[in-house]
Amino acid sequence: MSTGSESTRLSAAQFQQFERDGYLVVRGLAPEPLRARMLEVAQAHVAAALPPVEYEADVRYPGAPSSHDAPGGRTVRRLLQACARDPAYREWATSPVLAAPLAQMLGAGIELSQAHHNCVMTKDPRYSSVTNWHRDIRYWSFERPELVSVWLALGRERYENGCLLVLPGSHAMDFAPSLLDSAQFLRSDVEANRELLARETAVELDPGDVLFFHCRLFHAAGHNQTDETKFSVVHTYHAADNRPLDGTRSAAVPDIPL
């Protein structure tokens, strides 16, 4: 699956699955030497806390340390600006193996947003917070809410180490404001959300597997309960005719055409 764009075009069944569920897993999509290189760089950059990084204390998620000086407060949660960090990340993010499926999902002229995600997400076993149910589009500003993120597992991702959880089909649903909290997280204390929350599906990945997911898909993640750090690379894409809105954070960094 990793030698050229034609070989990575989605089958009709895969495309329909993405349209229906709002996400799709493609196994073994990343070339092995590139995956190994990205993991090696990520481990070194986390060990050195090489800037720009986001710390656990910065996310303010449930279970996060209350300040940088609290125990675990300087645990790296995200290595930001992945494409500028090492050529391996840019090679992966602009790879033809991604261009083909993304064009099927989004249309012609795929561009990589450097403003959103574009990071290595890490989950430390000692200090890892919980990410509640959210859709990424809530803080992004584009002409249309049509973006797809590509989540690459650099190592094994299981429920136990805090893999991504998704609510299949939620990308196609609309939500009354009362079903969301003030930060637009899906409320789990509301009866009307119960049926949807029962759809929770753990996206378990092996090294090199990729999850494509729509920017309107509700997703969440738990603690890392193992004794090894989890590393995932995440990038976000849109079609060339779906522009980031001028003056917003989404337009602050140039996009990269694939």
Q: Does 136 bind ligand AKG (CB under 6 A)?
A: yes
Q: Does 221 bind ligand AKG (CB under 6 A)?
A: yes
Least distance (Å) from ligand AKG to the CB of residue 42? 14
The answer to whether the CB of 170 falls within 8 A of the CB of 136 is: no
The answer to whether the CB of 163 falls within 8 A of the CB of 155 is: no
224-243 residues in contact with ligand AKG (CB under 6 A) are none
The answer to whether the CB of 43 falls within 8 A of the CB of 81 is: no
Selection from 160, 190, 195, 162 nearest residue 176 by Cα:
190
Q: Does 121 bind ligand AKG (CB under 6 A)?
A: yes
Length of the chain: 258
Q: Does 210 bind ligand AKG (CB under 6 A)?
A: no
Least distance (Å) from ligand AKG to the CB of residue 7? 29
13-42 residues in contact with ligand AKG (CB under 6 A) are none
State which H helix or E strand residue 20 sits in: helix 12-21
Reading the block at residue 186, the tokens are 């899906």
Q: How far apart are CA 119 and CA 110, in angstroms?
A: 19
Q: Does 170 bind ligand AKG (CB under 6 A)?
A: no
Of 37 and 219, the one with the shorter C-beta distance to ligand AKG is 219
Between 146 and 165, how does the x/- string for binding to ligand AKG read (CB under 6 A)? Answer: ----------------x---
Distance set, CA 41 to CA 181, 211, 213 (Å): 37, 21, 25
Number of residues engaging ligand AKG in binding (CB under 6 A): 7
Q: How far apart are CA 135 and CA 3, in angstroms?
A: 32
Tokens 């090679």 sit on residue: 91
Least distance (Å) from ligand AKG to the CB of residue 11? 27
Q: Tell me which DSSP letter residue 203 carries.
A: -
Of 45 and 219, the one with the shorter C-beta distance to ligand AKG is 219
Least distance (Å) from ligand AKG to the CB of residue 4? 30
Of 90 and 134, the one with the shorter C-beta distance to ligand AKG is 134
Reading the block at residue 244, the tokens are 């980031």
Residues at the site binding ligand AKG, with contacts judged by CB under 6 A: 121, 123, 131, 136, 162, 219, 221
